[in-house]
Structure 1
Amino acid sequence: MGHDSFRRGGNRGRGRNESSWYNKRGRGRGDSRNRNKSRPANKNHGEQRESVALSDLKEEQVFITEYVSTGKGFRGILKSRFSDFHVNEIDIDGNEAVLTDMNIPDTPKEELQDTPNSEVEGMLTHLITAEKLEQIRQVAAGKSEAVVEIDVTDLTKEDRGKIHNGTKSLFGKAIVGSTVTRGDKKYISIARYNFFNLTDRRRKWLWPHPFTYFLLYKENVDTIQAVTQMAEQLKCSASAFAYAGTKDRRAKTTQWICIRQYEPSKIASAVKKLQNVKIGNFCFKPKTLKLGQLRGNRFRIALRQVAAEESIIQSAMEEFRDKGFINYFGLQRFGNSSVVPTYRVGIEILKGRWKEACDLILKPRAGDPWFITKMRETWEQTRCAETALAKLSPRNKGIEKQILFWLATHDNDYKGAIQHLARNLRMLYCHSYQSLIWNRVASRRLREFGYQLIPGDLVYVDNITDVEAEQNTVDMDVALEQAIESDVKPDADGEEPPAEQVSRFKALVKPLTETDIASGTYSIFDVVMPLPGHDITYPANASGKWYEELLAEDGLSSEMLLRKAKKESLPGAYRKLFIRLEKLEWKIVSYEKPTDTLIWSDFEKLKGDQESEVKGEAFYKALLLDFHLPSSSYATMALREIMKTDTSALYQRMAEKELSNEALKSVETEQNIVSVDDKAREKQEEDNIVKDNEHTESFVEANEPAEKKPKLE
């Protein structure tokens, strides 16, 4: 995630980022052309690309350089339209999240005991005394504004429930009861119902479990933004919502969301006001959804304008199916800017160079809104935090503003400015650096040792399950979510780690021996490679030494990743080197127009939209893919294996423009050929007509009667 993602996340669910402020300020000031207009969720023909800054970071800059297969790649366009990229979450039990039901379940009705009032009054008199019961009666009748308190410290939970149910049975909605605790005493407080008191308007939760689960289907909006918009409509904090992870913005995605004790009807009413978001499949569960609590995702992807023979595509896909792909950390891990990739900030944080870290975060870069650019330029020129801070909107709560505010109010305390950020946000920069090292070692490992097992390669020990193994991979998306929604306070310096630490990660893996390899028990898909850390096992071969060499290039070592503050330390983690896709399917299709829909979403199928089939030969060709990936793997890294091209957004847009121009030239050439043929055909037809006329005239003349022939003078 780039700095732009951090800036949006820094709003902590309030939905007031720089972009929205900029768009509002732009109205009436000649900036309306820069506003992103909302578009209908269901009208694919209205889909257009937003005018957002594209990342200029290339794959080779983060050492994404190698390929598993040796076959020829082919050109195609990834995410030409957001409807070309579909993601469905797969939960921890292996179930796919598919929107199939948008009905709102009816709220259960409270079952009141059919007990005569006399018996209820007798029970209440026994539990709370007749005097208290009469006081409640006066309150219910509006004759008293007093609050009746009943000491229930010595009563059981069952008896307290009888008091609540009994008073509700006798006086209905005229009263409101609640249980309160003061010190070591417990009271039931009963007052007259007040419509203007939000607490009084609470309804008893009658659903079977406390957590409301529902599927969130969204189009061309990221998970954080969708949740923020729902929270604004429900007048609650975005942190009230829980989900297993974020899904792509430029896509159509479906995932599980949960919230504690919110009526489905209220949630549905709020979502109706939003564009590009639909919900459904309501259910109720006893526990909340946790970050990272998923097995993976199903991807359905269309590569448009595929420029290759069908035999080349089929060959590439078959090799892809058998050999898989290198499990690189994708470009999203390293930010949007080649000038300041996030791992550079991570290096400075790990080295304790706080001023350098702040300068990098505030450094000017391309693609920012004008006021962010102005803030960065002001800082670059003046190094005055207060002056730079004045360039930002009061609504801005991004990381840059947090740093500038701290510097302005704490006499340029650079260390404090970084450590004042939420812990998980700080650690994202460090995780980005770990990801860079992993990519570098993975690329060199493949170049020097090839696609084969070698002694010293690491594999998980035999008794660890696939789910446990997956949980020991650092998931940066989870870290980002924790950074945005958590209220973790900065760690205090000086917190010493325990004298003896249990080596959690070292016990997870073992190095392969020649005997292990010869046994055939393990395959190349079992190999894991570590992210660097202070408590990690490195491969017992040459690649193990590369980690320390690369860390040393940046003035670091594994020991330096053990920090004074325990929560700042990087113990390390393991990641599969190669991934073989599950349930991979593909087909080649033709389509007539660039705006044709090639993949139908959950929502479109639920509406009953019929998938159209192209009849005969169409001008364009696309490759449709369908596969499953574990949660920590990137679909873009899988696709680069078959395409053999850079998957960066900037490259894809350039390639799309080039292919479109080629297609246009092809059409024009065809039209020119047709035009030339038409002219030749017309000329030939004219010549034929002339010849026919001449022949007819000769024939007529030759067969005219003698008396009709002109006489010679």
Structure 2
Amino acid sequence: MAGGSASLHFRSLHEGFHGSIKNLTQDFVVTEIDLHGQLVNSPDAPEGPIIRINDDIKDVPPKDSIRAKLLTEETHSNEITIDAVCLNDGEVSGQECYDLSVILSSSTNKSLEHFASTIRGCSEVQKNLEMSLGVFPDKHQRAVVHSAVKYTYPFLMTATNHEEILVREDPDFRELSNLVSVEEAEDFFRFKDAKVPGSKYTFSPDDIKEHRTSVHHFLSRKFGKLLETKSFMEHGRTAITVRLRDRGRRARKRTAADQDEQEIYTGFTLRKDNLETLEAISYMAAELGVLPSDFSYAGIKDKRAITYQLMVVKKISPERLLAKADMFERKGLQLSKIHPVSEPIRLGRLAGNRFDLVIRDLKPHACSFRDLESLVKEAVENVKTLGFVNYYGPQRFGSSQKVQADQVGLALLKEDTVNTMWLFLSPEEGDDHENKAKQHFYQTGNAKESLALMPLHKARERMMLRALHRYGTGPEGGVQAWLSLPHSMRVFYLHAYCSRLWNEAACFRLQTLGPRPVQGDLVVVHACRESQKEDTHASQVHVVTSAEELEGVFSLDQVVLPMPGNSVKYPENTVGSWYRERLEQDGLSSCRFRISSLKLNVPGCYRPLLSYPRNFSYSLHTNKDTQDTEQKPEHRTHMTMTFNLNASCYATVCLREIMKCDP
């Protein structure tokens, strides 16, 4: 297990055994358990808390299907807690994709680049110069093309003529760029086209009143129905801020079509085989003509496994999704139980996961003289009774990576955005296309060339490289590169660092204070094994008193440890001192767990010290290996097992406790 597994504490003292997992993807099957306690691939499982839409639902494409949260993605600390980003609870999130090399053919994209270059080189508006991008019969695809072109080339405007998309220069951009810098004009037009509710854009400070008046008049004349402007003074300088008008004040009456656009959500069960969840979402989004962020899910699942999980996609009707099912299946994605729903899924909205596993080549440890059957029986019974220490598994940190997620998170908490950008794009071992792109960036610092080398499915890396190409690799570029990633991805790295500290704190707590609750420990009074979650509030956490320790009022499975953040309290014993010293050691003694420049906030939460598998069953199977006929056939034993775990708990950690080694 990544992160110094040798130092991690075991709960029980049985001998354990050797074995290997994930030899085949079918050896590791993960199935979500919904909030009703049903397996999501079960034919009897309910389709979820839905409000059914009329059976004759029409596939009405939303007018703003590509409308993205570009500039003012807000942090909702009350909605995204630390448990929303473990392996089962949300590594990623949506990724807005404006990559024209993916959306358009190679020849069309090159022609568009040449057309844009020609427009840029002209000294005045080219009213009669336009280009056709081709015919796009699908309305959703047209919406994607329109928004991607305007985001990439803010000085261009697009129009549809009988399903054909035409591109020409936007004269309004030319006029504004005569009043402000080209870079500011580009940022303003992206802000305007994104139409993010509650967002604002501020131009650079301008001390010339007459010039500010000209900018005010231009914005009012061209975009007065959409925007409102105001000058304000800060630090002795005056600047113009632009805000979107409150759409609620508009006189236009909402139509039935408007209502349909906002309420089209389709739920389904996704089966994937040896594929990352985010890669699967990126593929489906590209085929459907929506953003990856239009997909929601309760939790991320393993890559090296067969997994079943609930998902919801917005802006797509069940009919459209069903029509793409065969195409998805060729990618290894199987969709079932497709049905209309009323809302997206929130991270963590699952009861847990069932694991159906095969452990191959079972053998006693070298020092053992006991038979394998008795070793396995003792191990399973101990873990069923005593549980296991609820560590975060290696998936949380990136078990095969040289630069792990918690290292990136630590640098982010120190607000060293330039260093974290280089850490994020660090090349790994190997000569695959992704590593070649990263190696090129490390050697040259050329984001544009590295972007051309980066595989199309690596959406996060491509978004960061695009931002670095636009803003440079200095401090501003570092901030903009991180802001180009979705909020859930940015905060994931902070949570990875906090998870590493939690693992170390759990080790220290058990080694120092033993297997019973002691004075100063934090406990959840009404906790039970079946319902332990990380979303415990501080008001539910109780500090064990001296009298309660002596009377043995609480058990170890009620003890919780805090995930660091700005809204948690720490144990009132030596463990609390350990947290403070450990944060100081990492240079975070004064850390507020907020990074305003990246719109990140980590409130923290409480994680149970122990976890318990439920509905555990297993069986041993012995086969003769007769491949080598010249030698005596060797007996090989494998073990099949099935068990359930609460959400955010790791099967690999449970197996480590059972086997007393890294599986």
Q: Tell me the amino acid that sits aligned with residue 554 of structure 2.
A: Y
Per the alignment, residue 250 of structure 1 pairs with 304
Per the alignment, residue 396 of structure 2 pairs with 333
Conservation of the 8 A alpha-carbon contact between 2:322 and 2:338: no
Kindly tell me the number of residue pairs found equivalent between the two proteins. 449
Q: Tell me the amino acid that sits aligned with residue 377 of structure 1.
A: Q
Conservation of the 8 A alpha-carbon contact between 1:62 and 1:439: no
Aligned equivalent of 2:272, options 206, 218, 221: 218
Shift of 1:538: 0.7
Q: Secondary structure at the match of 1:432?
A: helix
Aligned equivalent of 1:535, options 558, 562, 567: 567
Per the alignment, residue 392 of structure 1 pairs with 453
Within 5 Å, which residues of 2 pair with 1:478-517? 505-517=537-549
**Counterpart-to-counterpart distance in 2, 1:269 and 1:401:** 29
Per the alignment, residue 639 of structure 2 pairs with 623
1:92-112, Cα deviation, whole Å (9 max, x unpaired): 23222124399x99x9579xx
Per the alignment, residue 690 of structure 1 pairs with none
1:483-531, Cα deviation, whole Å (9 max, x unpaired): xxxxxxxxxxxxxxxxxxxxxx532312112333455542211111011
1:86 aligns with 2:29: yes
Aligned equivalent of 1:68, options 8, 11, 33: 11
Shift of 1:536: 1.3
Shifted more, 507-516 versus 295-304: the winner is 507-516
1:346 aligns with 2:378: no
Query: TM-score, normalization: structure 2?
Result: 0.60
Q: Which consecutive residues of structure 1, in runs of 5 or more, have no partner in the other structure?
A: 1-57, 111-180, 190-198, 474-504, 596-616, 648-713
1:450-498, Cα deviation, whole Å (9 max, x unpaired): 3222221111254x8989962527xxxxxxxxxxxxxxxxxxxxxxxxx
**Counterpart-to-counterpart distance in 2, 1:61 and 1:78:** 20
Conservation of the 8 A alpha-carbon contact between 1:532 and 1:572: yes
Fraction of identical pairs, as percent? 31
1:440 aligns with 2:501: no
Per the alignment, residue 522 of structure 1 pairs with 554
Per the alignment, residue 458 of structure 1 pairs with 522
Per the alignment, residue 377 of structure 1 pairs with 439
Per the alignment, residue 133 of structure 1 pairs with none
Within 5 Å, which residues of 2 pair with 1:152-191? 184-186=251-253
Q: Tell me the amino acid that sits aligned with residue 373 of structure 1.
A: N
1:430 aligns with 2:430: no
Per the alignment, residue 318 of structure 1 pairs with 381
Conservation of the 8 A alpha-carbon contact between 2:20 and 2:361: yes
Shift of 1:444: 1.7
Conservation of the 8 A alpha-carbon contact between 1:294 and 1:631: yes
1:362-418, Cα deviation, whole Å (9 max, x unpaired): 33321352x443444344444x33575366248476444444443443343335424
Q: Pick the structure with more strand per residue.
A: 2
**Counterpart-to-counterpart distance in 2, 1:232 and 1:390:** 19
Shift of 1:533: 1.9
**Counterpart-to-counterpart distance in 2, 1:530 and 1:257:** 30
Q: Which consecutive residues of structure 2, in runs of 5 or more, have no partner in the other structure?
A: 58-247, 365-371, 628-632
Per the alignment, residue 590 of structure 1 pairs with 622
1:638 aligns with 2:654: yes
**Counterpart-to-counterpart distance in 2, 1:411 and 1:222:** 30
Q: Pick the structure with more helix per residue.
A: 1
**Counterpart-to-counterpart distance in 1, 2:489 and 2:496:** 11
Q: Secondary structure at the match of 2:324?
A: helix
Shift of 1:553: 1.2
Per the alignment, residue 295 of structure 2 pairs with 241
Q: Secondary structure at the match of 1:412?
A: coil
Q: Tell me the amino acid that sits aligned with residue 286 of structure 1.
A: S
1:28-79, Cα deviation, whole Å (9 max, x unpaired): xxxxxxxxxxxxxxxxxxxxxxxxxxxxxx5343776221111112011111
**Counterpart-to-counterpart distance in 2, 1:218 and 1:187:** 40
Give the 3 Å change call, closer, same or farther, for CA 244–66 of structure 1 in structure 2: same
Q: Secondary structure at the match of 1:88?
A: strand
Q: Tell me the amino acid that sits aligned with residue 389 of structure 1.
A: S
Conservation of the 8 A alpha-carbon contact between 2:413 and 2:591: no
Q: Tell me the amino acid that sits aligned with residue 184 of structure 1.
A: A
Within 5 Å, which residues of 2 pair with 1:286-297? 286-297=342-353
Shifted more, 390-399 versus 303-312: the winner is 390-399
Per the alignment, residue 364 of structure 1 pairs with 427
**Counterpart-to-counterpart distance in 2, 1:378 and 1:282:** 43
**Counterpart-to-counterpart distance in 2, 1:82 and 1:334:** 21
**Counterpart-to-counterpart distance in 1, 2:358 and 2:418:** 45
Aligned equivalent of 1:278, options 303, 324, 334: 334
Conservation of the 8 A alpha-carbon contact between 2:405 and 2:493: yes
Within 5 Å, which residues of 2 pair with 1:14-53? none
Per the alignment, residue 467 of structure 2 pairs with 406
Q: Secondary structure at the match of 1:59?
A: coil
**Counterpart-to-counterpart distance in 2, 1:284 and 1:408:** 41
Conservation of the 8 A alpha-carbon contact between 2:534 and 2:606: no
Q: Secondary structure at the match of 2:384?
A: helix
Give the 3 Å change call, closer, same or farther, for CA 570–592 of structure 1 in structure 2: same
Query: TM-score, normalization: structure 1?
Result: 0.56
**Counterpart-to-counterpart distance in 1, 2:530 and 2:659:** 30
**Counterpart-to-counterpart distance in 2, 1:566 and 1:410:** 15
What is the CA RMSD across the aligned residues, in angstroms?
Answer: 3.8
Conservation of the 8 A alpha-carbon contact between 2:279 and 2:457: no
Shift of 1:310: 0.6
Structure number, greater radius of gyration: 1
